[in-house]
Amino acid sequence: MNTFVLPDLGEGLTEAEVVRWLVAEGDVITIDQPVVEVETAKAVVEVPSPHAGRVATRHVPEGATLDVGAPLITVAALDSYTEEERAGSGNVLIGYGTSPGTGSTRKRRPRESPILMSGPSGASKVVSPLVRKLARDHGVDLSSLIGTGPGGVITRKDVEAGRSRVPEKAEGTERRIPLSGFRKAVSAVLTRSRAEIPEATVWVDVDCTGLWELRQRTGPGLMSYLARFVVAGLRQYPVLNARIDTERQEIVELDTINLGLAVQTDRGLVVPAVMGAQAMTTTMLDAAIRDVTARARRNESTPAELTAGTFTLNNYGALRVDGSAAIINHPQVAMLGIGRIIDRAWVKDGALTVRKIAQLSFVFDHRVCDGGVAAGFMRVVADAIEDPASALAQL
């Protein structure tokens, strides 16, 4: 028997939550085959087995939090198989025994299989036995849920979200939801940010009509242009692409701009970074942003992407709001946000007209600069948005 413990996943992480088992007890696995999907404070990752053989024991259930070094799975070596198990074709497939009629009379207990069901959209969605049990235990109607997993599969998180909408049976009761490793990490970062950073915020309404029209004529998306203008602003005000060394009481300006992008996912808000944004054209930024955000929504961001950001760009408009008093993503020192772009009455060239207007909000660490620098950076970005053709010609 070989017992595999939860390995050190790096980045100083000490625990992980078991999201989904990829193998069942009794399955035959190979070396380096992924056996479980775990969620750390920074990413969802698949953990491969260093052993080959038959899965004897899964030591923890889905949803459990496991410390690094704690037993994860026990695998029986293939040499321990009985002659009865070796009989027949010898091709032991995952989830199956040897071929019937070849000398083996051993019978397996059939494993409960996932089922197909029709949801609100009318699409069939695979529901695993564990998810069905969770739904039964908490009185959640699976047919009322919309699956967020691959192909519309209903996941544990979908059931938990549905559970929060189920009315309590009696007044005065309460429901406690344990913080996941991810929420614990978010809590720690935001609490530290609020405790350490003296934040200040400035905002300005900008006329996005020219940028909107440019977007209609060209391929890159709005966020790629905004990213390009942010890079231009950070080049002019490099103190905003920095961190503070509190021990040495120094502001550390960074040459590389790893542009963090706030992305809402089914596990919460994450901020993966486009690495080396200062060296990218608008078209390159567009491709990088689409890739980074798509992988983030699939929970495929790497720990490095989630921790490398040096400045954050936050599109509040995607949530259909106009602005936010954001919290800086420690250890960064600033964040720029843009709200939804809406038609509003606007005075242009002395005449009242209808333009596409959005609000920019900029939160910064008052230790690294004063309002003049913050306002200067904001005007670089705002002026570029209002006259994108001229701005791009000078970049």
What is the average pLDDT value for the chain, to the nearest integer?
83
Q: Is 366 tagged catalytic?
A: yes
Q: Which of 19-28, 155-164, 350-359 has the highest mean pLDDT?
A: 350-359
Percent of the chain at pLDDT > 70 equals 82
Indicate the domain borders of the chain. Answer: 2-80, 115-163, 198-394
From 51, 59, 330, 366, active-site residue: 366
Question: What does the pLDDT read at residue 240?
Answer: 98
The phi and psi torsions of 44 (rounded to 5 degrees) equal -100, 125
- Given this model, what pLDDT does residue 339 score? 96
Contact 341, 357 (CB under 8 A): yes
Q: What is the tens place of the pLDDT at every residue in 99-152?
A: 334 333 333 334 444 555 555 545 546 556 567 767 777 778 777 777 777 667
CATH annotation of 2-80: 2.40.50.100
Q: What is the pLDDT of residue 111?
A: 42
Domains 2-80 and 115-163 share a fold: no
- The encoded tokens of residue 336 equal 């720029």
DSSP lists the bridge partners of residue 206 as: 358
Q: What is the residue-wise DSSP string for 64-114?
A: -EEETTSEEEEEE-GGG--HHHH-TT----TT--SPTTSS----PPPPPPP
**What is the per-residue pLDDT across 33-79, written as a single tens digit (0 to 9) for each?**
999 988 876 677 888 888 899 999 999 998 888 888 899 999 998 75
Cα–Cα distance, 272 to 301 (Å, whole number): 7
What's the topology of domain 115-163? Dihydrolipoamide Transferase (4.10.320)
pLDDT of residue 185: 80
Asked if residue 341 lies in contact with residue 358, where contact means CB atoms within 8 angstroms, the answer is: yes
Token digits of residue 124 = 């069939």
Q: What is the pLDDT of residue 125?
A: 60
User: Domain 198-394: which topology?
Assistant: Chloramphenicol Acetyltransferase (3.30.559)
- Summarize the confidence of residues 365-374 as an average pLDDT: 96
pLDDT score at 10 = 66
User: Per residue in 213-262, pLDDT tens?
Assistant: 999 898 899 999 999 999 999 999 999 999 999 999 999 999 999 999 99
CA proximity to 43, closest of 293, 268, 301, 294: 301
Higher pLDDT, 193 or 141: 193
| Least confident among 6-15, 239-248, 332-341 | 6-15
Instruction: Give which of 291, 289, 328, 80 is closest to 198, Cα–Cα.
Output: 328
Q: In terms of pLDDT, which residue wins out, 185 or 308?
A: 308
